[in-house]
Structure 1
Amino acid sequence: MLIALRPTEQTPLSVLYCAALIKETNFPPGVVNIILGDGPECGHAIVVHAHIDKVPCTSSVEDENEYSIRLSNNQIDSNTEQGSQILDFIESDYKFGDKLECGGERVDNKDYFIKATIFSDVKDDMQITREEISGPVMSVLKYDSYEEVIKRANDTTFGLDAGVITRDSKFERNDY
């Protein structure tokens, strides 16, 4: 497997620093590759390259829409709305015992800008825990041990972001 990282052209130094750290760990040479350059030009080359299997994007909405259209050979339904999918996701789990702390609705009634949403009392088997929601939704799960946190983290296929909040100093920093 090869990994290619293309940082934004405005702030490439952090990724170059990470590359130096990767090299220091004796990671096999050539596995992690840094691609520097103009976003649209590099992005296009990456998206259409025959030997690149997956392209996760974190960029502007315009760029991601363009990449999605290229990858789908223009088969995207222009009537697709992600906002309604996010609200359906929120409403489907809200019925099963979790607690809505805030948000969970549109910012206004004409668009699908969703208010930041936080759920507590979430269980491991709930859809909101198991599946990716591409929207401003956070689930809060309690844990009893560090091992439980690791087991949960390894039992999901998604997770762009996660954090552990604790008062126990032995869990604050761990090099696992």
Structure 2
Amino acid sequence: KSRYEQLSESIGGNKIPPGVTERDLDPQHFPKVCYKVVNNQIDQVMSIRNGVLETKLAYKQLFNFYYKDGSSPMLTVGGIIYSKNDESNISKCSFEKLDFIRTERKKYEPYEIIIPKLTFREMRCLDKVLPIKESTSIKNNKEIISIPRELRKQYSKIYRYFPNFVEAEI
């Protein structure tokens, strides 16, 4: 079966956005199609829900993450549903000040999470000095200097959200 047929069977052909072709379903473009499917579904449900409510609800997208789990592209989209009466309170939250927030829904511009290929030891070493400016604290640290600059930069963007765990044998 083609990817289009598989997607149609999986979510229902009526949920596939108009104009989607087989090429749009290759691994590189598929997250964008999924993003459109999710947003269309949100819009549809919000429209139905608001049709019967006196106080209308609104949806504000807050994040749109793209990353790879191994070689599989992954997409995570989420936001907040609120009463339109609370619009001013929502705007006071200043979500946009966070660099990973993506409130734009008309175009697909995810925050791409790039997981640097570091050892646990390298991550722990960086954790000890982050957050830092590139020029401070690392010049005399041979272990940190040995980590390529690009990997340090990638890790510094995500380290606060990186899962921490410990393996233990009992």
> TM-score normalized by structure 1?
0.24
Structure number with the higher helix fraction is: 2
TM-score, scaled to structure 2 = 0.24
